[in-house]
Amino acid sequence: MRFSRLRLTGFKSFVDPTDLVISEGLTGVVGPNGCGKSNLLEALRWVMGETRAKAMRGSGMEDVIFAGASSRPARNFAEVCLTMDNSDRLAPAGFNDSDQLEIVRRITRDVGSAYKTNGKDVRARDVQMLFADASTGAHSPALVRQGQISELINAKPKNRRRILEEAAGISGLYQRRHEAELK
């Protein structure tokens, strides 16, 4: 399973519909300061179920919606659609019945977020679990924020253990255990 396409509408600086095809192999995003490179990585994290507004460099989740510019009014919603190529049929159980898997997250002002997988309404948890079981997701160590390496070096062993769990592919189980303990 691999990311094959990312589409954004009204997400941060990407006010107009933007369609990025992600080819196999290494992809580089280049551009001047402030052009939206980090916003793209945040879109990826967001569609995988990020719940921390701070991780999106905002004070509330609605801050991801295009806030307007001198010549353009603000938007009322933001949407990110991530397409995964599942021709290797390695998607976790429950999501493995087609060659393509499409995940959509939309946030509307005063309403909040809604998710879809292959056109079907799902919960945020379903999307988070899907990516946790695939050993990736909003908290994946594969998404490296600026300053994160030094944070890691100074981290407590317990926090560093999360990364080993992610690598071992057991973070989905960890999340389920945590939920079971809360019940």
Is 137 labeled as ligand-binding?
A: no
Provide the residue type at 91 as one letter.
A
Judged on CB neighbours under 10 Å (0-12, 13-18, 19+), 21 is: exposed
Handedness of CA 52, 117, 42, 162 (dihedral sign): positive
Is 147 labeled as ligand-binding?
A: no
Tokens of 74: 């603000």
Mark the segment that binds ligand ATP (CB under 6 A) among 61-69, 113-121, 124-132, 168-176. Answer: 61-69
- The Cα 90–Cα 134 span in angstroms is 8
Residues between 68 and 107 that touch ligand ATP (CB under 6 A): none
Binding string, residues 16-55; x marks residues near ligand ATP by CB under 6 A? ---------------x-xxxxxxx----------------
- The Cα 84–Cα 75 span in angstroms is 27
Contacting residue, 53, 55, 61, 67, with ligand ATP by CB under 6 A: 67
In the complex, residue closest to Mg ion by CB: 38
Contacting residue, 13, 18, 38, 83, with Mg ion by CB under 5 A: 38
- The Cα 180–Cα 183 span in angstroms is 5
> Which residues contact Mg ion by CB under 5 A?
37-38
Contact residues: ligand ATP, CB under 6 A: 12-13, 31, 33-39, 63, 65-67
Residue set of the binding site for ATP: 32-39
